[in-house]
A and B are shown apart, each in its own frame.
Chain A
Amino acid sequence: MITGSLARRYAKALLEIGIAQQTYDALGKELDRAADTLRSSPELRLALENPVFSLEKRKLIMDELSRRLALSRPVRNFIMLLLDKGRIAALPDIARVHRTLIDEHAGRMRATVTSARPLDPMLETRLKTALEKSSGKVVLFDKREDPAILGGLVTQLGDTVYDGSVRTQLQQLREELLSE
């Protein structure tokens, strides 16, 4: 398990390369692609993390994967470095931190908006404007649908969560009644 500070150091190194080459957004997307692939395939993760397989074989697998995912040379070299250092398991964490660092560098914030049903575009625009106004940054929406929240919306912007879901209100009501 890699620590947050270590993930941040790796992510920052890749960001500096991207900034130097003016390709940090593209590198970020490539890294996300690679991280998603690793996250979604337990067999691949096992093959790359298992020391039973020699490093050369694992590098061959990663090389083939990089080719199929059309990863640029900096991202491929970065992943090979993680393999060399035995840190490939930390790729999803590094990708997440890298994305945050890119957003910070570009003056952006990511907001995860969860709704029970698809959000009306007009309301989405209004919400985005309001969030940009309150944060002072460009807000990128990551929309999710979750019927379990019953109704209303839940927005996570950075470390702040504004929960207006019916489920949460019901839970609050339940807690209030129980505490009486």
Chain B
Amino acid sequence: MKKSFAAFAVAALLAGPVLAQEGVAQETKEGQQSPEGGAYGAGADVNESESRGIINWWSWDYDTGGHHAKDPAHKGWPAPFGFALINFGIFLAIMSKLAWKPLKQFMITRHDEIAKNLDEAAKLRAEAEATLKQYETKIGGIDREIDTLLAQIRKEAEMEKARIMSAAEADAKRLKEDAERQIAAEIDRARRELRRGVIEAAVSAAEDSLKKNIGADDQRKMAEKYVHDVEVRAKAGRPS
């Protein structure tokens, strides 16, 4: 019902100006009515009818589009506008019956989609603003963070330096002690080697000297002493 009413309203809107013109035409050319009710002045030519707007509402005796009017007075008349209007109203009614619902649904869907997109856009915008704010906060605190980080790195570097220095000192101390021990051992070994060499040389010299100088008398005395020792042991009851 509403749709029909809407269609009618549209048609009325379109017809309004035409009716108004017709009223004006009747005031100016009173007494000259067409048999079908069309307003025109007697003896009016085509230019005149054009200046009055719609001159043929209901007459099928018109003279345009290859159609020739039988009545010479209808020469130059267009097709009846009233039927065209009714035709248009019917068209609007059919269209509103058939296309209104899908069109409305499309519009609703489109509306919802646009609303949804707008919501999403608003949401994204809010998120972006939040992220921006977060980054701005971060950027704002980055200097302090860098300072803290640098201080921490410096502190760790100092600690590492101290540790390396300590380890190096310990290594140096150990190396020095090892070297000292090695030197002492080498000196001791050299001293012992020297001592051994001296002793070996002395014993060898003594042996050579004894070989040369022990005479028969010395041999006899040594044998005497040996036998005497054995005799003493034998008397003491000890085995030789």
Which residues of A are in contact with B by a Cβ distance under 8 Å? 115-117, 119-120, 123, 126-127, 129-131, 133-135, 150-153, 155, 157, 160, 162, 164, 166-167, 170-171, 173-174, 177-178
The answer to whether A160 touches B239, judged by C-beta atoms less than 8 angstroms apart, is yes
Which one of B200, B225, B239 contacts A135 once the chains associate, using CB atoms below 8 Å? B239
- Least CB distance from A85 to B in Å reads 38
- Least CB distance from A67 to B in Å reads 43
The answer to whether A130 touches B223, judged by C-beta atoms less than 8 angstroms apart, is no
Separation of A142 and B211 alpha carbons in the complex (Å): 25
Chain B residues with a Cβ closer than 8 Å to the other chain, count: 31
Contact with A along B177-217 (1 / 0, CB 8 A): 00000000000000000011001101100110011001010
Separation of A130 and B227 alpha carbons in the complex (Å): 8
Given pairs A116-B214, A135-B239, 9 additional interface contacts (CB within 8 A): A120-B223, A130-B230, A131-B240, A134-B233, A134-B238, A150-B207, A151-B222, A162-B230, A171-B203
In the assembled complex, B220 has its CB within 8 A of some CB on chain A: yes
Which residues of B are in contact with A by a Cβ distance under 8 Å? 195-196, 199-200, 202-203, 206-207, 210-211, 214, 216, 218-220, 222-227, 229-231, 233-235, 237-240
Also in contact, A151 and B219, with CB within 8 A (given A166-B214, A178-B196): yes
Separation of A117 and B240 alpha carbons in the complex (Å): 21
Offer 9 A-B interface pairs, CB within 8 angstroms, sorted by A: A116-B214, A123-B223, A123-B224, A130-B240, A131-B230, A150-B214, A151-B218, A155-B230, A157-B239
Q: From DSSP, what is the main secondary structure of chain B's interface residues?
A: helix
By beta carbon, the residue of chain A nearest B220 is A120
By beta carbon, the residue of chain B nearest A180 is B195
Also in contact, A177 and B219, with CB within 8 A (given A131-B240, A160-B240): no
Which one of B195, B214, B237 contacts A151 once the chains associate, using CB atoms below 8 Å? B214
Which of chain A's residues have a CB closer than 8 A to the CB of B231?
A: 126, 129-130
Separation of A123 and B230 alpha carbons in the complex (Å): 11
By beta carbon, the residue of chain B nearest A133 is B234
Which of chain B's residues have a CB closer than 8 A to the CB of A116?
A: 214, 219
The answer to whether B223 touches A152, judged by C-beta atoms less than 8 angstroms apart, is yes
- Least CB distance from A143 to B in Å reads 12
Also in contact, A170 and B220, with CB within 8 A (given A127-B227, A162-B230): no
- Least CB distance from A150 to B in Å reads 5
Which of chain B's residues have a CB closer than 8 A to the CB of A135?
A: 239-240
Which of chain A's residues have a CB closer than 8 A to the CB of B218?
A: 151
The answer to whether B234 touches A178, judged by C-beta atoms less than 8 angstroms apart, is no
The answer to whether A164 touches B222, judged by C-beta atoms less than 8 angstroms apart, is yes
By beta carbon, the residue of chain A nearest B200 is A174
The answer to whether B230 touches A152, judged by C-beta atoms less than 8 angstroms apart, is no
By beta carbon, the residue of chain A nearest B207 is A170
- Least CB distance from A152 to B in Å reads 5
Also in contact, A162 and B222, with CB within 8 A (given A133-B234, A170-B206): no
The answer to whether A117 touches B199, judged by C-beta atoms less than 8 angstroms apart, is no
Which of chain B's residues have a CB closer than 8 A to the CB of A120?
A: 220, 223
Which of chain B's residues have a CB closer than 8 A to the CB of A170?
A: 203, 206-207, 210
By beta carbon, the residue of chain A nearest B218 is A151
Also in contact, A117 and B200, with CB within 8 A (given A155-B230, A166-B214): no
Separation of A134 and B223 alpha carbons in the complex (Å): 18
